[in-house]
Amino acid sequence: MFDRDRLSRTDSSCIVIGGGITGLTIATVLQQQGVQVTVLDKGRGIGGRLATRRVQHSESIKGVFDYGTQYFSIKHPRSQTWVNEWLQQGVIREWCRGFGETDDKPRYCGVNGTRGIAKHLAQDLAVHSSTKVVKISYNTRWSITTEGDRQFEGDILVMAPPVPQSLDLLDNSQIVLPSHSRTSLEQISYHSCIAVLALLEQPSSIPAPGGIALADESLIWLADNYQKGISPQGHAITLHATPQFSEAYWNNKDAEIANKLFTAASNYLNSNVVKYQVHRWRYSLPKTLYHEPYFVCSSLPLVMAGDAFVAPKIEGAMQSGFAAAQYISNSLL
> Which string of x and - marks every residue 300-329 that binds ligand FAD (by CB under 6 A)?
------xx----xxx-xx------------
Q: Which stretch binds ligand FAD (CB under 6 A): 74-82, 180-188, 281-289, 323-331?
A: 281-289
In angstroms, the CA 320 to CA 309 distance is: 6
**Residues 40, 46, 48, CA angle at the centre, nearest 5°?**
95
Question: Residue 29 CB, nearest distance to ligand FAD (Å)?
Answer: 14
Q: Which candidate, 277, 113, 283, places its Cα nearest to that of 196?
A: 277
Residues facing residue 93 across a β-bridge: 109
Does residue 48 come out as left (phi exceeding 0), alpha (psi in the -120 to 50 range) or beta? left
Rounded CA separation 257/96 (Å) = 30
# residues near ligand FAD by CB under 6 A: 39
Nearest distance, CB of residue 177 and ligand FAD, angstroms: 17
Q: How far is the CB of 254 from ligand FAD (least distance, A)?
A: 17
Residue 39 near residue 19, CB atoms below 8 Å: yes
DSSP 137-190: EEESEEEEEETTS-EEEESEEEE-S-HHHHHHHHHHTT----HHHHHHHHT--B
C-alpha–C-alpha distance, residues 158 and 194, integer Å: 28
Considering only 7, 15, 16, 17, the residue that binds ligand FAD (CB under 6 A) is 17
Window 85-124: contact mask with ligand FAD (x via CB under 6 A): ----------------------------------------
Q: What is the dihedral angle through the alpha carbons of 261, 267, 268, 270, rounded to the nearest 10 degrees?
A: 100
CA 106/CA 124 separation, integer angstroms? 27
**Which is nearest to 165 in space by CA: 143, 198, 197, 189?**
189
Cross-strand partners of 241? 219
Q: In the complex with ligand FAD, which residue's Cβ is closer, 22 or 204?
A: 22
Q: Counting contacts by CB under 6 A, is residue 284 touching ligand FAD?
A: yes
According to the binding rule CB under 6 A, does residue 38 interact with ligand FAD? no
In the region spanning residues 128 to 147, those forming contacts with ligand FAD, defined by CB under 6 A, are 132-133
Q: Does 68 bind ligand FAD (CB under 6 A)?
A: yes
Nearest to ligand FAD of 7, 283 (CB atom): 283
Single out the segment in contact with ligand FAD by CB under 6 A; choices: 67-75, 83-91, 210-218, 226-234: 67-75
Residue 290 is a binding residue for ligand FAD (CB under 6 A): no
Binding mask 162-201 for ligand FAD (x = CB under 6 A): x--x---x-----------------------x-x------
Percent of the chain as helix, strand, coil, to the nearest 5: 30, 30, 40
Question: Which of 14, 42, 63, 157 forms a contact with ligand FAD (CB under 6 A)?
Answer: 42
The residues of the shown chain that bind ligand FAD, judged by CB under 6 A, are 17-23, 40-43, 48-50, 68-72, 132-133, 160-162, 165, 169, 193, 195, 240, 281, 284-285, 306-307, 312-314, 316-317
